A and B are shown apart, each in its own frame.
Chain A
Amino acid sequence: MDIPKDRFYTKSHEWALPEGDTVLVGITDYAQDALGDVVYVELPEVGRKVEKGEAVAVVESVKTASDIYAPVAGEVVEVNAALEKTPELINQDPYGEGWIFRLRPLDMGHLDDLLDADGYAEALESEA
């Protein structure tokens, strides 16, 4: 299971990649594999203010629908509109083209509360 070292993770299987004063958010390779083929992504509205842990997007697969939570509090500044037509990007490239939304965190420092790659790998171990 691929877990890049350049970003942060949540126990609910989101990743958060800092870019300037924003973070890109998507779901992990493990999450896309567990969900199976993604058929639909419900994206948030740009400008929406969200709390940490708030359900921001929904990813629907052939098996189930799953909420995607904000890893930190902030404002949604961009969404990956490509997912509307090609939701399979989440399966094909979960850490790249399959990103879901971009947040401007209230405080970039909040990212430090998240898991790093090793911490996430450990969390996966204990889950299995």
Chain B
Amino acid sequence: MSFPLIFERSRKGRRGLKLVKEVPRAEAYIPQAFLRQDPPRLPEVDELTLVRHYTGLSRRQVGVDTTFYPLGSCTMKYNPKLHEEAVHLFAYLHPYQDPQTVQGALQLMWELGEYLKAITGMDEITLQPAAGAHGELTGILIIRAYHEDRGEGKERRLVLVPDSAHGSNPATASMAGYEVKEVPSGPDGEVDLEALKRELGPHVAAIMLTNPNTLGLFERRILEISRLAKEAGVQLYYDGANLNAIMGWARPGDMGFDVVHLNLHKTFTVPHGGGGPGSGPVGVKAHLAPYLPVPTVARGEEGFYLDFQRPKSIGRVRSFYGNFLALVRAWVYIRTLGLEGLKKAAALSVLNARYLKELLKEKGFRVPYDAPCMHEFVAQPPQGFRALDLAKGLLELGFHPPTVYFPLIVKEALMVEPTETEGKETLEAFAEALGELLQKPKEWLEGAPYSTPVRRLDELRANRSPKLTYFDE
């Protein structure tokens, strides 16, 4: 079932709309040196062709609106459509408007900041970062500015990450100019405290942790870890990817974390990926507040305003004020649920994961770190099965697969995060589907999927010789 690219539908001279007025020419505004020499090669199509093209693509999509999507560490929960109504209310604002004319928008940002500080136990916050990894970089740059300000920038060269960490953690630290060292997990899947102690010292800038960790396990020794970090002058960074499990129940700030980034597109029902953009606010404890990006939203006697008064700021990390409409969605979500609702969402996300874990064990899957999990768990197929084949088989049976081959410390890992927005029946149907796949002949599994718009992709060729543009040049 091949589907043409929009470029392949292009016919010379075809147009989708007619401009009734003469459009000002770019030459009038832009110096000659910066003007392109050739017209851009845009597809030329009529409006109906365009509508059919994208409607056709949308019908081939798999997403949380079409199917169960238990992608571990991604919290693919349902994004309520109510949010889109609220977004429309703000859709015609312009970022260059005078703050006096957008008091409602600033109030929303300020309130969201207050809610997120209350949920995470942090003192101050920036809403600028555009996504999780961007939030991480912002957080680590804040930590770097703090150490440099104290005259310890040269000495503290190392960032510690557990071996179960998200890949973005070491990547972030490295991008911020730090060396990275892995700390092994203990046999219980939690940070090995003795190994951590050996690494800590005046040469360490930060420890980056996720709690619950990527195995879905709560780091029970977190208070001990934060005490050790504090004694060594090391900043403790909280990767908010897994906040969904503890939202409203436990706060990173109370656990001793100094910096937190949140993923509004995970925990707070902002659509992910193609439906994005994301948003990665960063909360900090008071000692790090001088280094936050500017501006922040503040409340004064005459209303809300943008505060640029932060001389030690790391500067802007995003044009304007972050992905504002993502903030609107998160605000609506928090206001709709309230504290009790958020707590219930977290509790149900844990209950769903624990139930599904037991169902999969009954089907013959193994769970290498089989402690009571939080919002997600990591399973292994029985010997002889490959996680990749099961993932492709799930597509054939109408489910989006879980995360596979992550975390790296579990072989043939299937990392399953059902989220709280799924009913019991869906979890059972998913477990049945995985059980059914274990009964399929090997050849069937290796050939799956069969009836999806595209069959199994050639990952090897895609990686070794990626073709990223339509035009050959």
Contacts and interface: CB of A to CB of B under 8 A. Distances in A.
Contacts of B388: 63
Interface in A36-68: 37, 39-40, 60, 62-66
Interface stretch (B271-279, B326-334, B394-402, B458-466): B458-466
A62 B460 contact: yes
Interface residues of B, number: 10
Nearest to B411: A34
Interface in B398-415: 405-406, 408, 411
A39 B460 contact: yes
Nearest to A128: B411
A14 B464 CA distance: 24
A40 B411 contact: no
**Most chain A CB atoms below 10 A, which of B167, B408, B411, B460:** B460
Contacts of A87: 464
16 contacts: A34-B411, A37-B463, A39-B460, A39-B464, A60-B463, A62-B459, A62-B460, A62-B463, A63-B388, A63-B405, A64-B405, A64-B406, A64-B408, A65-B167, A66-B408, A87-B464
B405 A40 contact: no
Contacts of A62: 459-460, 463
Nearest to A60: B463
Contact of A37 (B405, B408, B460): B460
List the 9 closest pairs (A to B, CB-CB), nearest first: A39-B463, A62-B459, A63-B405, A37-B460, A39-B464, A62-B463, A64-B405, A64-B408, A62-B460
A48 to B, nearest CB: 14
Contacts of B167: 65
Interface of A: 34, 37, 39-40, 60, 62-66, 87
Interface of B: 167, 388, 405-406, 408, 411, 459-460, 463-464
Given A37-B459, A65-B167, 15 more contacts: A34-B411, A37-B460, A39-B460, A39-B463, A40-B463, A40-B464, A60-B463, A62-B460, A62-B463, A63-B388, A63-B405, A64-B405, A64-B406, A66-B408, A87-B464
A34 B460 CA distance: 15
Contacts of B405: 63-64
A40 B463 CA distance: 8
Nearest to A62: B459
Contacts of B460: 37, 39, 62
Contacts of A65: 167
A40 B459 CA distance: 13
A87 B463 CA distance: 11
Contacts of A37: 459-460, 463
Nearest to A86: B464
A27 B405 CA distance: 19
A34 B412 CA distance: 9
Contacts of B464: 39-40, 87
Nearest to B464: A39
B130 to A, nearest CB: 24
A32 B218 CA distance: 32
A39 B463 CA distance: 6
Nearest to A67: B182
A4 B464 CA distance: 30
A6 to B, nearest CB: 28
B459 to A, nearest CB: 4
A64 B167 CA distance: 10
A64 B407 CA distance: 10
Contacts of B459: 37, 62
A51 to B, nearest CB: 12
A76 B271 CA distance: 47
B125 to A, nearest CB: 32
A12 to B, nearest CB: 11
